[in-house]
Chain A
Amino acid sequence: QVQLVQSGAEVRKPGASVKVSCKASGYSFLNYGIIWVRQAPGQGLEWMGWISPYNENTDYAQNFQGRVTMTTDASTSTAYMELRSLRSDDTAVFYCARESDDVSGGKYFDYWGQGTLVTVSS
């Protein structure tokens, strides 16, 4: 069965960086994009960007341009999201998800990781 398993909770000081991992299993990793979503406490979902494990093409949301880097390691079927210059308002749960793409349904996020809480505090 398809699974996305994320790394554990992190605590960082303002100005630091964090790198979250997302290990995929149960499907062909190269055939599906991976997206990342941020959810601040009590708030909604915010798309951060997308990466293709096939060719490592990326597309970052404007709100995160210059601060985020998404990468993948095909040898371990793992995606990574690094966020730099952390601020207190980056405190959030970060989710990875698989982006499916079919002819009739278009693109959508059909499997999600369990989420990783990143706390930014001095």
Chain B
Amino acid sequence: SYVLTQPPSVSVAPGKTAKITCGGDNIGTKRVHWYQQRPGQAPVLVVYADSDRPSGIPDRFSGSNSAHTATLTISRVDAGDEADFYCQVWDSDSDYWVFGGGTKLTVL
């Protein structure tokens, strides 16, 4: 089955840029979606189809995807961005939605 690998944690100072990676075999050929989950809350879609943003999501959130790594970039990070972030793809070989293990973003 298809595996998505995320770093367990990423730390960043306020005002700086955070990059959260999502590794997978030829992930560049798939559409990657990203969800933010604040403690005790439901996930929220922040980036879909590699780099598109749903309405209401600030342009500080951006995404890219190439070869074996997709990346979620959050610029001008503030304390309100602290959350777990999950990447997701559809594995057409097994007809399965696959999530990465999640990355906890900590704002120092």
Contact = CB atoms under 8 A, between A and B. Distances in A.
Q: How large is the interface on A (under 10, 10 to 19, 20 to 34, 35 or more residues)?
A: 20 to 34
A82 interface: no
B99 A44 contact: yes
A112 B102 contact: no
B48 interface: yes
B99 A108 contact: no
Contacts of A47: 96-99
A44 B90 contact: no
Nearest to A45: B99
Contact of A104 (B49, B90, B102): B49
A107 B49 CA distance: 8
**Chain A interface, DSSP helix/strand/loop, else mixed:** strand
Contacts of B14: none
A45 B95 contact: no
B45 A114 contact: no
Given A35-B97, A47-B97, A112-B43, A105 B102 contact: no
A109 B86 CA distance: 12
Interface string A26-45: 00000000010100000011
B31 A109 contact: no
